[in-house]
Structure 1
């Protein structure tokens, strides 16, 4: 069962986490993630290279039940959540009864499973989240919960054990100048632009916004959220800008 895939620039820039280059000069790679049948806990990755014109060997791993117990596998839950490239690793967010991150290290050609923060979100409020590159390097998470956005980073404690470290919280209602009339439906996280360090959020009654994290500012790009799937991407031209492509 196919879960997700990524298309990466295979040039030297890709090693630093950049996803694109010139169409004419940059070879590319396609990375596909798949799982076993429903309720199985095995995952496989295969990489296609435009330089060789061939698929590589299938890389598989089976994870312990404790780490995967909350997860059920249904591809329609995962296909619309984009992957994140940080250094030489690709991260996919798997959504199900529980939430988990699958990591594929292209350097070591290995798969790993990362658990989400235990106190990531309030189950009583509408929330959505995605993986992202942390602003100072490493893997990050962004959570949009009602009218707040919270950032997390994967770090280490004093014993070197990997942990999630909470970062800043953004009051989106205040930033976007939303009044009580607007606050009739929670904002949803729709996408993240790695090069612009910005995320896209919206709600049906108030429209769609791009929120830039550094420096913190926003831009409204649509009056209403009428479509269900959004794919933020940037052009390949000099003076890149954030565009929004939508589908149903």
Structure 2
């Protein structure tokens, strides 16, 4: 199960072996890591996820962050960080869950924004964000704004980077794509506020009767979102609303964009990844 791609590395979870694989397709390196046994995994319930990252300019080391539940009562959400430099997992970080204590990670991978990793999940009948602060080593849960964005509503959403580099969300209702972000109010309290929006049927010249779009991917470094429609997959840049049609496909599933930084003057063979 693909958990995500970042900084030229892919992270995969083996459900049966309870291991994660870190893959560098350019260098050809693979690292197999046993997931700490304190995590609980119950198959299709999707109660475990993770992310991989490495520091800018450091091609030799990486970190893996795993998040999930301990499966005990009272239930807590856990996080644990693996450092390739230390060659070991660190201490567990935990945070309490609401009384219901049940959550499901959505198929979307984590988004790195503002020095924190963010996962979208469904919990206690509502949609929430799980945030892991990489510097403070802390976990935090935050609900999405209002009952309008409940799991039963027709709104589609995905975590995105907001303007300024912080965490935000893209809400998709019909053909309207709306960007939201957290901003301080007069009292300094962080609240959700809507920002720019665009009518995708007009931008992409879609047929409103049959070409309903779905969010299927996000490339955080380039701030590009991918939309699936009946007529094909579109790549849209959120800063400029520039777009490009990529392909025509019947596959409506999550796409994992592959982004990599390289040193000027270094020769790199181009490749296409098909998962």
TM-score range, shorter chain: 0.7 to 0.9
- Checking the alignment, whether the CA contact within 8 Å between 1:91 and 1:104 is kept in structure 2 is yes
Moved more, 222-231 or 135-144: 222-231
Q: Return the alpha-carbon distance in structure 2 between the equivalents of residues 38 and 223 of structure 1.
A: 46
Going from structure 1 to structure 2, the CA distance change for 1:99 and 1:38 (only over 3 Å counts) comes to farther
Q: Return the alpha-carbon distance in structure 2 between the equivalents of residues 124 and 227 of structure 1.
A: 20
User: 1:177 corresponds to which residue?
Assistant: 205
Q: Return the alpha-carbon distance in structure 2 between the equivalents of residues 38 and 246 of structure 1.
A: 38
Shift of 1:40: 6.0
Instruction: Give aligned pairs, total.
Output: 224
User: 1:135 corresponds to which residue?
Assistant: 163
Q: What root-mean-square deviation, in Å, do the aligned CA atoms of Structure 1 and Structure 2 show?
A: 2.8
TM-score (norm. length: structure 2): 0.72
Residues 81-96 of structure 1 correspond to what in structure 2 (within 5 A)? 81-95=108-122
Shift of 1:244: 8.1
Q: Deviations over 1:215-237 (max 9, x none)?
A: 22110111123252321222444
Q: Deviations over 1:48-107 (max 9, x none)?
A: 001111100011111344xxx5x7334xx53x2111112321111113531111111121
Residues 85-124 of structure 1 correspond to what in structure 2 (within 5 A)? 85-95=112-122, 97-118=125-146, 121=149
Structure 2 unpaired stretches of 5+: 1-39, 41-46
Residues 54-65 of structure 1 correspond to what in structure 2 (within 5 A)? 54-65=88-99
Is 1:8 matched with 2:53? Answer: yes
Is 1:36 matched with 2:81? Answer: no
Q: Return the alpha-carbon distance in structure 2 between the equivalents of residues 173 and 232 of structure 1.
A: 24
Is 1:218 matched with 2:263? Answer: no
Q: Return the alpha-carbon distance in structure 1 between the equivalents of residues 212 and 102 of structure 2.
A: 26
Going from structure 1 to structure 2, the CA distance change for 1:8 and 1:124 (only over 3 Å counts) comes to closer
TM-score (norm. length: structure 1): 0.79
Structure 1 unpaired stretches of 5+: 14-20
Going from structure 1 to structure 2, the CA distance change for 1:221 and 1:35 (only over 3 Å counts) comes to same
Shift of 1:238: 6.7
Task: Choose from 224, 234, 254 the match for 1:198.
Answer: 224
Task: Choose from 40, 51, 72 the match for 2:102.
Answer: 72
Q: Return the alpha-carbon distance in structure 1 between the equivalents of residues 198 and 74 of structure 2.
A: 38
Is 1:126 matched with 2:154? Answer: yes
Shift of 1:245: 5.3
Q: Deviations over 1:150-204 (max 9, x none)?
A: 1000111111111101101111000001235xx314211011111111100112x
